């Protein structure tokens, strides 16, 4: 069954609602300057303490230094980290040495065919790959689809489990899964309230997870 990661969680109520609806992972935007659904380190630590043990908790960051990433993950007690910016492979290797039990998700922004080589390179060290779109300076959470044809090729040619992100909703997630055949799907804007992008719409959330888990 396809795994579901709910990203951009900003409060414990939404986190527990996602778990109760069947989410497998929760993602929190902790250290990405200017991100729409940012929570600061203190808020993240409180949320992680409240939700600890309910599901793997993933801290999203644009940090690119292994020591700084280690400090963040230790402070909030993250089960996993998602690295959204390009970084030297040696930093990723160093992070795995510093925190051997930490699961590492590496975002790959699928702009063109070059994403395949990038995915293979980071797949040497990362535990999971997240295929996402980008828009200007926004590294994820754009609500725009990635190129599914390229994503499918990455899934076929990379040995690591792949999550598909970018513009997914309950209306297109089944089509996306059937075409790309990812290990999991990752959604943020597709389950948020229309008038409050920091809050989850429970109806959208439940529909999305039901549709994804039907595959």
The model's pLDDT over 81-122, given as tens digits with 9 standing for 90+, comes to 999 999 999 999 999 999 999 999 999 999 999 999 999 999
Token pair 């590294």 is at which residue? 139
Residues of the chain with pLDDT > 90, as a percent, come to 90
Give the domain range for residue 154: 3-213
Q: Which residues, at least 6 apart from 195, have a Cβ–Cβ distance to it below 8 Å?
A: none
146-194 pLDDT, tens digit per residue, is 999 999 999 999 999 999 999 999 999 999 999 999 999 999 999 999 9
User: Which H or E run includes 61?
Assistant: strand 57-61
What integer pLDDT is reported at residue 140 of this predicted model? 52
Length of the chain in residues, anyone?
Answer: 215
What span, in angstroms and rounded, lies between the C-alpha atoms of 202 and 79?
25
State how many domains the chain has. 1
CATH number of the domain enclosing 62: 3.20.20.70
Q: pLDDT-derived band of residue 211, with 50, 70 and 90 as boundaries?
A: very high
String of b and e for 56-75 (b: at least 16 CB within 10 Å)? ebbbbbbbeebeebbebbee
């Amino acid at each position: 069954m396809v795994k579901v990661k709910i990203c951009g969680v900003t409060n414990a109520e939404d986190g527990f609602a996602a778990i109760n609806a069947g989410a497998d992972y929760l993602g929190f935007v902790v250290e990405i300057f200017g991100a729409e659904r940012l929570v600061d380190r203190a808020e993240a630590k409180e949320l992680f303490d409240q939700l600890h043990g309910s599901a793997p908790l993933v801290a999203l960051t644009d940090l690119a230094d292994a020591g700084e990433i280690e400090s963040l993950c230790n402070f909030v007690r993250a089960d996993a980290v998602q690295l959204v910016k390009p970084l030297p492979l040696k930093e990723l290797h160093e992070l795995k040495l510093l925190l051997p039990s930490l699961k590492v998700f590496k975002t790959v922004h699928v702009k063109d065919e070059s994403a395949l080589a990038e995915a293979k390179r980071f797949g040497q060290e990362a535990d999971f790959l997240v295929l996402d779109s980008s828009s200007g300076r926004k590294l994820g959470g754009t609500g725009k689809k990635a190129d599914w044809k390229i994503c499918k090729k990455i899934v076929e040619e990379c040995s690591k489990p792949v999550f598909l992100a970018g513009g997914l909703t309950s209306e297109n997630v089944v089509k996306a899964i059937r075409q790309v055949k990812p290990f999991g799907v990752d959604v943020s804007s597709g389950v948020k309230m229309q008038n409050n992008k920091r809050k989850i719409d429970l109806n959208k959330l439940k529909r999305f997870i039901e549709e994804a888990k039907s595959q």
